[in-house]
Amino acid sequence: MGVCQVMSSEVFEKIGRSVVESAYEDIYEEIGRQAIHGGGPGGDPTVEVVEQLDERIAREQILPRIDDDLIQEHKENPVGQHSDDLQRVLHYFRRQPLDEKYVIVETERNEEWNIGLLSGERGNSPELLEEDTFDSLEEAEHAVFLRRIEELQATYTEE
């Protein structure tokens, strides 16, 4: 049961096609064929395969979209309708694991916001990052966006 098996194209078509986002279809198809943990269809993908997928999406689909224009678009309109490129970047950031994920915490009702860091454990309050206090929700949203970009670039940009 603990052995990884190669998933055939036929099996992938049956169980994987309906959950594949069209923008990442080729990546999901290639990695989806590589391994399924648990010995067959219905098993959970191995952690390694998921990490490979995430890295490939970051390098090939997300980082190339991030430029000064995209950052300016977010600064001008952090909440609401966005371009396709910005929407894809935001979706990528939102699907990241909760452990050490940035969140916005309203510290004074309608007056002050702070950036917090989630622990990834249910029931624990976010750790507030004291150096970051904002007068508007939009400023806080953009600050979180910039932090996520900085971390993504530090993780996947080769020097």
Would you say how long the chain is, in residues? Answer: 159
141, 78 Cβ separation under 8 angstroms: yes
Whether the model pTM is above 0.75: no
pLDDT in tens, the chain (159 residues): 333 334 444 444 444 444 444 545 555 555 555 544 444 444 455 777 888 888 999 999 999 999 999 999 999 999 989 999 999 999 999 988 888 899 999 999 999 999 999 988 888 889 998 777 999 999 999 999 999 999 999 998 864
3-state secondary structure of 12: helix
